[in-house]
């Protein structure tokens, strides 16, 4: 299921939310959409689903032009909107039955149980949606989006507000289900893009600011500031780092913990040898943040 976006503009009164956006998504790939608040991510995703019409430009899904009345295209799309709107008073199965009705899914009872299994909702499926935790509500949203087995999944911040454990699980779930689907996912989490996506689209003020693979994106940062966290079991003073080559700045967090900065030098080998030389026990030696984050910040600056 390929997606081709051509010269899409969206104006809200006199405000340009999307400004001449063009890109394509290959069949079977996962595209991540990044961008600061208000960049136009949700607007773009709504337009691709056919929920909103663009002011100008076209979207083609598998060669078919998207328009709000084209039911054939709607059947191919699963959509998890931003903030995952659900009916809190419905029971999980009741809600999924309602969604199955919209899509006229044959043998829906069996399919609902399948999707409950797939999204690991079994233990909570007897509850009302309003009684579920945020992570489980998110799973209900994903279950609803995938119920009719769409070839194209559009997920608007599917992992926002999840705890770290749920985040890993939902990400794994998206990875599993995406093996035979085309996925468009918007997020603010860089690691998510790194872990899931084949391509990254960065939107800024409604324009395409970058369209790269995650690997390429990491190499785009000009400043190349790298940050390392080091923690010893024993107390140390920051003067011990003076001999480290490539060190540009040192911040002391506690008597045992320091943040060290370099301009594109991996300080970890030298720090390891320093700890050995000074007979200090290393508890942590870790690079902080990612170069992707630096690239992103430079692109949207
Ligand atoms: N229905 C609307 N009427 C008027 N302006 C709108 C409407 N929907 C979105 N906008 C504006 O369009 C711009 C893009 O909004 P959009 O929701 O697409 O951003 P976003 O990238 O999804 O942001 P976020 O990261 O906060 O979710 C914003 O300036 C927003 O205020
Ligand atoms: Mg949004």
Q: Which residues surround ligand 2, an ion (CB under 5 A)?
A: 41-42, 82
**What global pTM score does this model have?**
0.83
**CA angle, 98 as apex, 60 and 172 as ends, to 5°?**
60
Among all chains, which residue has been given the structure tokens 């003076």?
A: 242
Domain locations in the chain as residue ranges: 3-218, 225-300
Q: List CB contacts of 124: < 8 A, sequence separation 6 or more.
A: 92, 132, 136
53-57, 109-113, 178-182: least confidently modelled range: 178-182
Out of 12, 21, 158, 159, give the residue to mutate to test ligand 1, the one with the largest number of ligand atoms within 8 Å of its CB: 12
**C-alpha 18 to ligand 1 mean position (Å):** 10
Q: Whose CA is nearest to atom 4 of ligand 1?
A: 12
Cα distances from 9 to residues 16, 50, 52, 54, 81, in angstroms, run 7, 14, 12, 6, 20
> Which ligand has the minimum distance to the alpha carbon of residue 201?
1
Q: What are phi and psi of 39, to 5 degrees?
A: -70, -25
β pairing state of 56-61 and 64-65: antiparallel
How remote is the CA of residue 173 from the centroid of ligand 1, in Å?
28
Residue 202 alpha carbon to ligand 2 centre in Å: 13
Residue-by-residue DSSP string for 44-111: HHHHHHTSS--SEEEEEETTEEP-TT-HHHHHHEEEE-TT----TTSBHHHHHHHHHHHTT-TTHHHH
Residue 263's beta-bridge partner residues?
225
> Which helix H or strand E contains 145, and what residues bound it?
helix 134-146
Instruction: Report CA(166)–ligand 2 centroid distance (Å).
Output: 21
Ligand 2 centroid to residue 274 C-alpha, Å: 46
pLDDT digits (tens, 9 = 90+) for 217-244: 887 766 677 889 999 999 999 899 999 9
Whose C-alpha lies nearest to ligand 1, atom 25?
Answer: 37
- What's the burial of 220, exposed, middle or buried (CB within 10 Å: 0-12/13-18/19+)? middle
Three-class secondary structure of residue 290 per DSSP: coil
CATH 3.40.50.300 is the classification of domain 3-218: yes
Ligand positioned closest to the Cα atom of 44:
1
d(CA 96, CA 109): 9
Ligand 1, pocket-test mutation among 39, 44, 186, most atoms within 8 A of CB = 39
At 222 the pLDDT is 63
Residues 291, 293: Cα–Cα separation, whole Å: 5
Task: Yes or no: say if 138 and 169 are a contact pair by the CB < 8 Å rule.
Answer: no
Q: How far is the CA of 225 from the centre of ligand 1 (A)?
A: 32
Task: State residue 288's pLDDT score.
Answer: 81
Task: Measure 42 CA to ligand 1 centroid, in angstroms.
Answer: 7
Residue with CA closest to ligand 1 atom 26: 37
- At 108-161, the pLDDT tens digits run 999 999 999 988 899 999 999 999 998 899 999 999 999 999 999 999 999 887
Ligand 1, atom 30: nearest CA belongs to which residue? 38
Q: Report residues whose beta carbon is within 6 angstroms of any ligand 1 atom.
A: 12, 17, 35, 37-43, 82
> CATH code for 225-300?
3.30.70.1560
pLDDT tens track for 260-288 = 999 878 999 999 999 999 999 999 999 88
Nearest ligand for residue 13 CA:
1
The H-or-E segment that residue 291 falls in is helix 291-300
């Amino acid at each position: 299921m390929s997606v081709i976006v051509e010269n899409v503009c969206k104006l809200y009164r006199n405000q340009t939310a999307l400004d001449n956006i063009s890109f394509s998504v290959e069949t079977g790939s996962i595209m991540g959409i990044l961008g600061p608040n208000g960049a136009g991510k949700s607007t773009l995703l709504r337009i691709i689903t056919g929920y909103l019409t663009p002011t100008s430009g076209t979207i083609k899904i598998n060669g078919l032009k998207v328009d709000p009345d084209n039911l054939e295209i709607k059947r191919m799309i699963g959509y998890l909107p931003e903030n995952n709107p659900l009916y809190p008073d419905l029971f999980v199965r009741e809600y999924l039955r309602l969604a199955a009705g919209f899509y006229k899914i044959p043998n829906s009872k069996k399919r609902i149980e399948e999707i409950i299994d797939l999204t690991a909702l079994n233990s909570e499926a007897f509850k009302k949606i309003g009684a579920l935790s945020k992570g489980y509500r998110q799973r209900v949203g994903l279950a609803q989006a995938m119920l009719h087995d769409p070839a194209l999944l559009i997920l608007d911040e599917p992992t926002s507000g999840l705890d770290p454990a749920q985040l890993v699980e939902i990400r794994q779930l998206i990875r599993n289900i995406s093996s035979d689907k085309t996925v468009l996912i918007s997020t603010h989490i860089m690691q998510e893009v790194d872990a899931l996506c084949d391509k990254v689209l960065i939107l800024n003020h409604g324009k395409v600011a970058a369209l790269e693979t995650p690997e390429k994106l990491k190499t785009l940062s000009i400043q190349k500031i790298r940050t390392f966290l080091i923690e010893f079991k024993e107390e140390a003073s920051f003067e011990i780092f003076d001999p480290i080559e490539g060190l540009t700045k040192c911040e002391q967090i506690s008597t045992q913990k320091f943040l060290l900065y370099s301009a594109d030098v991996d300080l970890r080998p030298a720090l390891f040898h320093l700890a050995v030389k000074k007979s200090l026990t290393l508890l942590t030696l870790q690079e902080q943040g990612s170069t992707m984050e630096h690239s992103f910040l430079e692109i949207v600056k």
